[in-house]
Homo-oligomer: A and B are copies of this chain.
Amino acid sequence: MLLQRIAVVGCGLIGGSLALGLKKRGFSGEIIGCDRAEVLEKARARGAIDRATTELAEAVGEADLVYLATPVVTILDLLPEVAKAAKPGALVTDAGSTKVRICKLASEVLPENVAFLGGHPMAGREVGGIENADADLFAGAKYVLIEEAHHRDAPFDSAPTASGLRSESPLGSASLREGAEKEFVEWIKKLGAEPLRMEAETHDWAVALVSQVPQLVSTALASAVWDETDEDGLPLSLAGAGFRDMARLAGSPYDVWRDICLTNSENIARGLERLEQRLERMRTRLRSRELEEEFEKARQTYAMLKRGGKE
């Protein structure tokens, strides 16, 4: 067992759920939570963490695995500090919703003897916070893992640092990294998630389409209906199950999405533009039979989702 001590940086919905999930599935090491004091108190009360600190360096310094689960821009802010504090041989991973910027920065700032594995659990809820954390949040979800060319190709073994990695470990550092990564992936599987490897660019385009554009569309729909709703409550008071589904994402917190929009703006803009064009085309054909093709493709997507994953 290489991962004996895990620092969870950001103990909200994702970090909290990871910690609770590890505990539930028998992780016997120590989980150190790092967040604001009031969040840490709740995380401890829920039994998610064993130790709590508001100091990043303290949380990270002894950890075999550093799990960064804050909004994306905070991850970008924290990475240089993590780079300084992480111990040789540590594995750093994250749960940020966009990957290109994070993986690029990680490859720039982390020392050779600290490994990085970008990650994105495709699980979430429209409500955040440790209050809503759930040991089974990741069950049935895809868990994207990004391999960085930097770490994959670097002559890792041949570049031990002054910190004495070699003397600390009987393994070579490359195999140490491999072992730690393998163990982490095993934990992901135990949480019920399905690891899926891809490049950061592929990820960022894919999630723009299936996660980020849908989020902004839900926001736009709900916001538009809000603007139209008068004192009588119409049209909102007529909303049925369909609109409720479409507006569920509209409850998502802006701070998370601000970071996502900032760090994946090109992909999102491209996706939104294509959607606008499609809506315009449909709008000009409302009275024709040409919408049938759109409905047919949509039904195939619906059917694939039904067959595919969890409901």
Contact = CB atoms under 8 A, between A and B. Distances in A.
Contacts of A37: none
A221 B211 contact: no
Contact of A298 (B226, B289, B301): B226
Q: Which of A142, A214, A289 has the most CB of B within 10 A?
A: A214
A279 B236 contact: no
Contacts of A237: 142, 196, 308
A282 to B, nearest CB: 6
Contacts of A251: 298-299, 302-303, 306
A102 interface: no
Q: Chain A, interface size: which category? A: 35 or more
Contacts of A124: 240-242
B240 A302 contact: no
Contacts of A282: 216, 219-220, 272
A220 B301 contact: no
A178 to B, nearest CB: 25
Contact of A206 (B224, B234, B287, B305): B234
A224 B270 CA distance: 12
B217 A297 contact: no
B219 A295 contact: yes
B210 A239 contact: yes
A214 B210 contact: no
Interface stretch (A28-36, A40-48, A256-264): A256-264
A56 interface: no
A272 B265 contact: no
Contacts of A304: 236
A244 interface: yes
A248 interface: yes
Interface string A270-311: 011111101110110011010110111111111111101101
A-B interface, 8 closest residue pairs, ranked by CB to CB distance from nearest: A206-B235, A250-B298, A222-B298, A251-B302, A222-B301, A254-B295, A223-B297, A226-B297
29 contacts: A142-B238, A196-B237, A206-B235, A210-B240, A211-B238, A213-B221, A214-B221, A214-B243, A216-B279, A216-B291, A218-B242, A220-B279, A222-B302, A223-B301, A225-B301, A239-B305, A239-B308, A245-B248, A247-B298, A248-B302, A250-B295, A250-B299, A251-B303, A254-B291, A261-B287, A262-B287, A268-B283, A272-B283, A273-B283
Interface of A: 122-126, 141-142, 144, 196, 198, 202-203, 205-207, 209-211, 213-229, 234-254, 257-258, 261-262, 265, 268-269, 271-276, 278-280, 282-283, 286-287, 289, 291-292, 294-306, 308-309, 311
